[in-house]
Amino acid sequence: EPEVTQTPSHQVTQMGQEVILRCVPISNHLYFYWYRQILGQKVEFLVSFYNNEISEKSEIFDDQFSVERPDGSNFTLKIRSTKLEDSAMYFCASSSMTAYEQYFGPGTRLTVT
Amino acid sequence: AQSVTQLGSHVSVSEGALVLLRCNYSSSVPPYLFWYVQYPNQGLQLLLKYTTGATLVKGINGFEAEFKKSETSFHLTKPSAHMSDAAEYFCAVSSAANDYKLSFGAGTTVTVRA
């Protein structure tokens, strides 16, 4: 069964460093998303991406964040200069043309020290 | 705007007992409603969804949920809990008007007593 994959599973970085979180969505999907979950809090929407551009972003997704689909398979989230409060589990999701169901990857746990 | 409220952050049930997880939503447009389950150290797995049509929807692992527009609710039930149901459960809402982005509730942790 097709699935969304994410790498790395755990990333530790120092404050101020750049990180890139990688995702491989399901191959025939067209909509891509990033969410995050700070420990003990609810899952929050960050950004949606369709047709090679951002279709919507939350207020969390400021200028420090960017997304890219550099080739036909990968979907990346870059945090330019990490802060302590960026520590969270980051989930990638994708959905097909109907967009009703989003399939989630296993997440990347980002720890900023 | 859309939002979800899950009543009860923690539910404890005996094995074989009914599982009932409550979810109320707020949406200014017709909603799509979802339940996701998260097992420890894993991602979010879709349990079931309501988009249109039949208001009682069945999902995986014996779970079902009923969309009640008049009550703005989408409660999740399972007649008989199993030890493997211990996990965190998230209710979520989306809509075409909001680019299908999911708004999640705070989650309910289910523990199952032997």
Give the model confidence (pLDDT) of A52-85 as tens digits: 999 999 999 999 999 999 887 899 999 999 999 9
Q: Is the pLDDT of residue A13 over 80?
A: yes
Q: If pLDDT is split at 50, 70 and 90, which confidence band does A2 have?
A: confident
Whether B102 sits inside 8 A of A43 (CB atoms) is yes
Which of A42, A103, A104 is the closest to B106 by Cβ? A42
Query: How far apart (Å, rounded) are the C-alpha atoms in residues A22 and B96?
Result: 27
Name beta bridge partners: A90.
A36, A108
Average pLDDT over residues A3-12: 95
Smallest CA–CA separation between A53 and chain B, in Å? 13
Rounded Cα distance between A4 and A46, Å, is 17
Q: Quote the mean pLDDT of chain B.
A: 93
Q: What is the reported pLDDT for A64?
A: 96
**Cβ separation B100–A91 shorter than 8 A:** no
Coil, strand, or helix at residue B105?
Answer: coil
Closest CA to B89 of B100, B101, B102, B76: B76
Kindly tell me if the per-residue pLDDT of A100 is higher than 80. no
Q: Which of B43, B101, B107 sits opposite A91 (nearest CB)?
A: B43
Mean pLDDT computed over every residue of chain A: 93
Q: Which long-range contacts (CB under 8 A, 24 or more apart) does B54-62 make?
A: B59/B35, B61/B85
Report the residue from B45, B99, B104 with minimal CB separation from A42: B104
Positive or negative: CA dihedral B40, A48, A38, A81: positive
Q: Does B29 touch chain A (CB under 8 A)?
A: no
Task: Round to whole Å and give the CA distance between B12 and B14.
Answer: 7
Q: Using an 8 Å CB-CB cutoff, list chain B residues near A42.
A: 90, 104-107
How far is Cα of residue A18 from the mean position of the Cα atoms in its chain? 14
Give B95 to chain A, closest Cα distance, Å. 8
Q: Is the per-residue pLDDT at B30 higher than 90? A: no
Q: How far, CA to CA in Å, does B22 sit from each of A14, A21, A35, A82, B99?
A: 40, 34, 23, 36, 25
CA distance B27 to chain A (A): 16
Q: What is the pLDDT of residue B41?
A: 78
| The pLDDT of residue A41 is above 90 | no
Q: Does residue A26 contact residue A94 with C-beta atoms inside 8 Å?
A: yes
List the single residue in A with minimal CA-CA distance to B6. A42
* Phi then psi dihedrals of residue B91, to 5 deg: -95, 145
pLDDT at A99: 58
Nearest CA in chain A to B42: A106
pLDDT band at B107; cut points 50, 70, 90: very high
pLDDT, residue A109, reads 96
Query: Rounded distance, CA A65 to CA A35, Å?
Result: 12
The three-class DSSP label of residue A113 is: coil
Q: Is the pLDDT at A7 greater than 90, yes or no?
A: yes
B54-105 residue pLDDT tens? 999 999 999 999 999 999 999 999 999 999 999 999 999 998 877 788 999 9
Residue among A42, A45, A102 whose CB faces B107 most closely: A42
**Conformation bin of residue A86: beta by default, left when phi > 0, alpha when psi is -120 to 50:** alpha
Q: What tokens appear for A4 in the block?
A: 């969304």
